[in-house]
Amino acid sequence: MKKLFWREHLPLILFMASALLVVLLVFWYDGYDHPVTAAYAVFLGLTILAGYLAFRYFTHRDFYDRLSKPITSLEESIKHNESAPLPAALSGLMEEQYRQYRNVMEEWDRRRKEHLIFMNQWVHQMKTPLSVIEMITQEDDNDSYKSISEESDRIRRGLDMVLYMSRLETFEQDFSVMPVGLHQAVVDAVHENKRYFIHSHVYPEVRIETDLIVQTDAKWLRFVLLQLISNSIKYSAGSGLKVTITAYRSDNHREVLLEVIDRGIGIPTADLKRVFDPFYTGENGRKLKESTGMGLYLVQEVIRKMNHRIELESEPGQGTTVRLVFAL
């Protein structure tokens, strides 16, 4: 606080010292030979300056103190009890700016909530005709119906991504930790992608003990597994190879590791650092033209919010391993 005060008034002090020095020089060149009187005049000038600085310091002390200390909240920045004109005027200006900022933020928050409500309602409305299409296509083994069924699966996966992305902003309100059996969770996720496996000529392999339990949110874990399995199928399509989902305890028994391993085209080394960036499709995404660049980003955000870890390893032409780490 004191440093700020002296830094602000240093120009005034230098100006007053220069003014007194100029006055003394004028009298000296004019032949004035009463040094005691001149010194007394200088003393009076410095005393008046010191009095002004003391008055300024005590009337603006709270103001300088507020400027010198970091604030912990926006509300704290508009609290003031200064009586001096300049601090009071500045505090009034900041209070008005804060009020306008609050109005803008409240309006933005209202629009954001309306957008989320609209997106949730739209997704649910789209799922109704999609369910009808799936019921119709399941009743016939016609190849055309199979193609329609496969496309409806793609639409459903896209709708689920939109729905979960909109819920991500209110994650804490939709989060419930409970014991979850990894074997059953993975089997369910594989079953939901069975048509995708068959159409892509890729085969699932689940190697997880039935008694392996982790503490997590079952619904969000389902979303993560569906995304990872869908990616592994997409980038292994037509290979005729397996996608292996395995889980095991770490050597120190403090963690459970779940791995989704594919033998597909792999990820180019240049893309590895950016695979979790939003909307980044990379070289593979541009080739296949099906990637949105949001899948792994959403997976990472969900995993981070659930206090788990995600790791990814890949070699071009060899495949990709995505590893989820659950603390015990």
Residue 292's CATH number: 3.30.565.10
Rounded Cα distance between 219 and 224, Å, is 9
**Which of 84-98, 117-131, 251-265, 313-327 shows the lowest per-residue confidence on average (mean pLDDT)?**
84-98
In a domain, 259, yes or no: yes
pTM: 0.66
Whether residues 273 and 296 share a domain: the answer is yes
Q: Over 80: is that where the pLDDT of 147 sits?
A: no
In a domain, 90, yes or no: no
Whether residues 179 and 299 share a domain: the answer is yes
Cβ pair 206, 194 in contact under 8 A: no
Which of 150, 171, 192 is the endpoint of a domain?
171
Both tokens of 155, joined, read: 């639409």
pLDDT of residue 152: 81
Whether residues 300 and 265 share a domain: the answer is yes
Q: What's the domain range around 13?
A: 1-69
pLDDT of residue 28: 78
Which of 171, 200, 235 is the endpoint of a domain?
171
Identify the three-state secondary structure at position 20: helix
Which of 141, 171, 201 is the endpoint of a domain?
171
In a domain, 74, yes or no: no
Whether residues 212 and 181 share a domain: the answer is yes
Whether residues 181 and 158 share a domain: the answer is no
pLDDT of residue 259: 96
In a domain, 28, yes or no: yes
Terminal C-alpha separation, the chain:
50
Rounded Cα distance between 104 and 99, Å, is 9
Rounded Cα distance between 279 and 218, Å, is 26
Rounded Cα distance between 48 and 20, Å, is 12
Whether residues 162 and 229 share a domain: the answer is no
Whether residues 269 and 306 share a domain: the answer is yes
Q: Over 80: is that where the pLDDT of 66 sits?
A: no
The percentage of the chain sitting over the pLDDT mark of 70, rounded to a whole number, equals 92
In a domain, 221, yes or no: yes
Q: Over 70: is that where the pLDDT of 141 sits?
A: no
In a domain, 61, yes or no: yes
Whether residues 217 and 288 share a domain: the answer is yes
Whether residues 281 and 145 share a domain: the answer is no
Cβ pair 243, 229 in contact under 8 A: yes
In a domain, 282, yes or no: yes
Cβ pair 127, 163 in contact under 8 A: no
Average pLDDT for residues 308-328, to the nearest whole number? Answer: 93
Whether residues 200 and 289 share a domain: the answer is yes
Q: Over 70: is that where the pLDDT of 257 sits?
A: yes
Whether residues 148 and 242 share a domain: the answer is no
**Which of 87-96, 97-106, 116-125, 170-179 shows the lowest per-residue confidence on average (mean pLDDT)?**
87-96
Q: Over 90: is that where the pLDDT of 244 sits?
A: yes
Q: Over 70: is that where the pLDDT of 72 sits?
A: no
Whether residues 192 and 248 share a domain: the answer is yes
pLDDT of residue 289: 62
Q: Where residue 40 falls among pLDDT bands split at 50, 70, 90?
A: confident
In a domain, 77, yes or no: no
Burial class of residue 13 (count of CB atoms within 10 Å of its CB; 0-12, 13-18, 19+): middle
Both tokens of 17, joined, read: 């010292």
* Count of domains forming the chain: 3
